[in-house]
Chains A and B, each alone.
Chain A
Amino acid sequence: MSGVALAADRATMETLAAYARLKRRRRILLVLLGCAGVAAFLLDLGTGPASISIADAVSALLGLTELSHAREVILWQVRLPVALIAVLVGASLSLAGAEMQTVLANPLAEPFTLGISYAAALGASLAIVLGIGVTAFGGPWLVAGNAFLFALASLLLVQALARFTSAGAETLILFGIALGFAASAVLSLIQFIASAEALQQIVFWSMGSLARADWSVVAILACVLALVAPFSLRAAWSLTALRLGDERAISLGFDTDRLRLLALVRVSLLAATSVAFVGVVGFVGLVAPHIARMLVGEDHRYFLPASLLVGALTVSAASIASKLVVPGIIIPIGIVTALVGLPGFVWLVIRRHRRPA
């Protein structure tokens, strides 16, 4: 073999080894994120006004110790569903945000970019104020069902508009913003005519809060995530190809229109479910995917699971913080994520601005 061929061979082996190291590092990071998520979940279980420690909580859950009846009820009916919902909402919103940023080719996109939060709030307030609903259920289900349908309908409407005008991702975002303004205006109108009591309900609904957690909500969120996530992960290759630009992706044989549509349907389902039951938990869907991207890069085989895990970890941490900031009071989690997420958002904008062209 000639010297040149030998050198080339050595370079190949070295590059293969370096890439293998990179992949291993990413897998280790995923495992660490998973562990951190579990730790945050347990810490979340062991935090709250009632004195149930992590050790108590874990051993009671495993059936090893008996707690007093009151603490048993608190653990099973409050702490556990809240902690699970924190994980599920975080995972859902972050996965949705990751897909959204990829298909819209916009690093500042998140599930609520397309006006979905206002649409959901509008749906909820119609149910609260006028009792108008599109579901057969009453009470809180009417509100959640309405919020879900309005959120989903708004996303589908935006997509239909964009497809009808065969416009690009940027136009889609602008349509979403316009729709959000429209929903917000109608929402103000409803608030204007609402009674003081209903107004208070609307305001509390709009603040993202885990306090509405119960087991049926856990089940619904878990089902939606379990239904959607496998499809997201299966689309990992195509989504990675989309990062090479539309023309490149099409020339590689990917149907980018179909890919976008299916991704946005997944995003809609995840975001609409979570906003319907928990309200607006902002910035998670924006910031968590960026953290995931910094950790494992943009190969979606790693990026999507990492986003999911970072999201779960983030909202779990926010849930813990929401109980600790003011002792004895649980601050709505949407306020916590917004306060922590806003600096993150500003940092992203500045970082983007500084990046050389």
Chain B
Amino acid sequence: MTQPDTLTVSGLAVRYGRRSALDGLTLPPIAAGSVTALVGPNGAGKSTILRALAQIIPSTGPMRFGARDLRSTRPRHRSSLIGFMPQALPQGTELTVIESLIVAIHGAATSDALERQAIAVLQRLDIVEHALSPLDRLSGGERQLVSLAQAIARQPRLLFLDEPTSALDLARQQQVMQQVRSLAAEGAAVIVVLHDLSLAARWADQMIVLDHGRLYAAGAPQDVLTPAMLADVYGVHARVERIGDRVIVLPESAVTPNTTL
């Protein structure tokens, strides 16, 4: 078997007007078949990185997947290669769930296959019973699942998910992360932004910790998650417990209470 394709990103820079959001960030290689959790406090630049990788916002710096230069890939091809799940979900639309998927797949499948493929994705995420509901009538969690369905509808090889579990209950969180794992097992390279560090440790192969737009640490979850890192990056005193091969983060208190509100 050949070496799996790897996403390599170096010197990634993003500017919002005059403000520099990311200044030459280099990520560790992200292999197809693996799940990488991107973590860090609010404003650390997690969403910016995902948007830049998905080429939603302009950025500079080399970005390759295997032998392919992602920057010179045409938008139409790119959309079949990269699946992106934004944090924000569309508001106030009468579009039905199945229509939203059909439009997401359109162009990547023949018109006969469109509807079947859309339904297959809904079945995979166990939301097929909502197929004909307008997006607006769904609960927050259901809409998040639909958004994930849209991201994976074209069976992309690179998957960038921005907080896919933030509105989900416990069971749905595990279900979504299981899906993320099985997508990786099918050969996708997945980067997922998560706030729940224990959840990240449970499901990710690799963890990247960001702080103020810089790479603070990267590696296996059990190596990265330390009380020192949590105090330094998140500003919390926390215990890190190991139960078997699981790592669980138990936050106790802020490092400097009542000063940085």
Contacts and interface: CB of A to CB of B under 8 A. Distances in A.
Interface of A: 8, 11-12, 15-16, 18-19, 22, 107, 237, 240-241, 243-245, 247-248, 250-255, 293-294, 297-299, 352, 355
Given A253-B79, A355-B136, A247 B88 contact: yes
B128 interface: yes
- Which 3 A-B pairs give the minimum distances between C-beta atoms? A253-B79, A251-B84, A247-B86
**Secondary structure of the A side of the interface?**
helix
Contacts of A250: 55-56
A8 B123 contact: yes
Contacts of B123: 8, 11-12
B131 A243 contact: no
Contacts of A240: 95, 99, 103
Nearest to A302: B99
B79 A297 contact: no
A245 B79 contact: no
A15 B97 CA distance: 12
B98 interface: yes
Interface of B: 51, 54-56, 75-79, 82-84, 86, 88-90, 92-96, 98-100, 103-104, 106-107, 115-116, 119-120, 122-123, 128, 131-132, 134, 136, 147, 150-151
Contacts of A8: 123
B136 A15 contact: no
B47 to A, nearest CB: 10
Contacts of B99: 240, 297-299
Contact of B76 (A248, A253, A299): A253
B93 A243 contact: yes
Given A18-B132, A240-B95, A243-B95, A252 B79 contact: yes
B112 to A, nearest CB: 11
Contacts of B151: 251
Contact of B86 (A15, A248, A293): A248
Given A244-B103, A252-B79, A253-B107, A298 B132 contact: no
A35 to B, nearest CB: 24
A173 to B, nearest CB: 16
B103 A241 contact: yes
A206 to B, nearest CB: 33
